[in-house]
């Protein structure tokens, strides 16, 4: 359970479900459905498809809960299930690959997070002001120009706050690859923002920074 969250921990909710308390699964749904939906919306860029993928991810999680062994956190496991659902949706609808990626909506949705986001050394503080208008548009355009794998890795780290180990588990890649992708994504994003005339304070965090 994330620090500050009310109610039983993820492990306790899972234990209750396994013991026959079906309603306990609602705790997990309510805790994570917003984040999973934002993931699906970023990947699929379609509200209806994102809702479907989110629902399917939770259904799969419920059906497979007995096989969840707890080697990673529940959210990491759920995140990977959701990502697989999104990939399946994209394969079924190949035309979605031709749709221009709309980062603006995803960035706007993330302004509700308790912690103010920082992307590639650009600290959005206060987020409500700096993430409006031109800056948000430039960031969205720059993010859209990143390779998909680099963009996804950057969002998992900067927006969802996953550790290197969690991202590695989510994407099924070595931790070193996560670090390399993040280093590349941050540098590229900074370069693209500078190219667009957007001042970028500070420098990208080193790829070797200690995982949270």
What is the per-residue pLDDT for 179?
94
Same domain flag for 119 and 194: yes
**Statement to judge: residues 97 and 167 lie in one domain:** no
Q: Is 198 part of a structural domain of the chain?
A: yes
What is the domain count for the chain? Answer: 2
What tens-digit pLDDT sequence spans the chain (212 residues)?
443 456 789 999 999 999 999 999 999 999 999 989 988 887 788 899 999 999 999 999 999 999 898 877 888 889 888 988 887 887 777 544 444 444 444 443 343 333 334 444 444 444 444 445 667 778 878 888 888 888 888 888 887 777 888 788 778 889 999 999 999 999 998 898 888 887 765 433 333 333 33
Please give the biggest Cα pair distance in the chain.
58
Give the residues across from 183 on adjacent strands. none
Say yes or no: 128 and 50 in one domain: no
Asked whether residue 199 falls in the same domain as residue 161, the answer is yes
Rounded Cα distance, 168 and 126, in Å:
31
Q: Which residue has the tokens 């390779």?
A: 147
Classify residue 208 by burial, with Cβ atoms within 10 Å: 0-12, 13-18, 19+.
exposed
Same domain, 129 and 96: no
Tell me if 179 is assigned to some domain.
yes
User: Is residue 107 a part of any domain in this protein?
Assistant: no
Angle at alpha carbon of residue 145, lines to 154 and 93, rounded to 5°: 90
**Sign of dihedral through CA atoms 168, 171, 172, 177?**
negative
Q: Are 158 and 119 in contact (CB under 8 A)?
A: yes
Q: Which domain holds residue 180?
A: 112-212
**Whether 150 and 188 share a structural domain:** yes
The reported pLDDT for the residue numbered 201 is 55
Q: Are residues 117 and 209 in the same domain?
A: yes
Cis before 126? omega within 30: yes
The verdict on 116 and 81 lying in the same domain is no
Is residue 123 domain-shared with residue 72, that is, in the same domain?
A: no
Per DSSP, the residues of 27-69 read HHHHHHHHHHHHHHHHHH--HHHHHHHHHHHHHHHHHTGGG--
Distance (Å, rounded) from C-alpha 178 to C-alpha 109?
A: 25
Whether residue 15 is found in the same domain as residue 70: yes
Q: What does pTM read for this prediction?
A: 0.54
């Amino acid at each position: 359970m994330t620090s500050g969250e009310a109610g039983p921990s993820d492990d306790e909710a899972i234990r209750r479900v396994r013991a026959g308390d079906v309603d306990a699964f609602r705790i997990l749904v309510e805790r994570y459905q917003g984040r999973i939906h934002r993931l699906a919306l970023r990947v699929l860029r379609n509200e209806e498809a994102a809702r479907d993928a989110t629902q399917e991810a939770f259904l799969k999680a419920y059906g497979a809960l007995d096989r969840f062994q707890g080697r990673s956190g529940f959210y990491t496991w759920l995140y990977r299930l959701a990502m697989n659902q999104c990939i399946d949706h994209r394969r079924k609808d190949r035309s979605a690959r031709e749709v221009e990626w709309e980062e603006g909506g995803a960035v706007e949705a993330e302004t509700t997070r308790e912690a103010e986001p920082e992307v590639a050394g650009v600290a959005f503080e206060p987020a409500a002001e700096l993430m409006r208008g031109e800056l948000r548009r430039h960031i969205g355009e720059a993010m859209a120009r990143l390779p998909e794998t680099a963009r996804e890795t950057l969002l998992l780290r900067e927006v969802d706050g996953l550790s290197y180990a969690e991202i590695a588990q989510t994407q099924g890649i070595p931790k070193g690859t996560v670090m390399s992708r993040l280093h590349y994504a941050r540098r590229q994003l900074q370069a693209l923002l500078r190219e667009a005339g957007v001042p970028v304070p500070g420098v990208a965090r080193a790829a070797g920074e200690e995982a949270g």
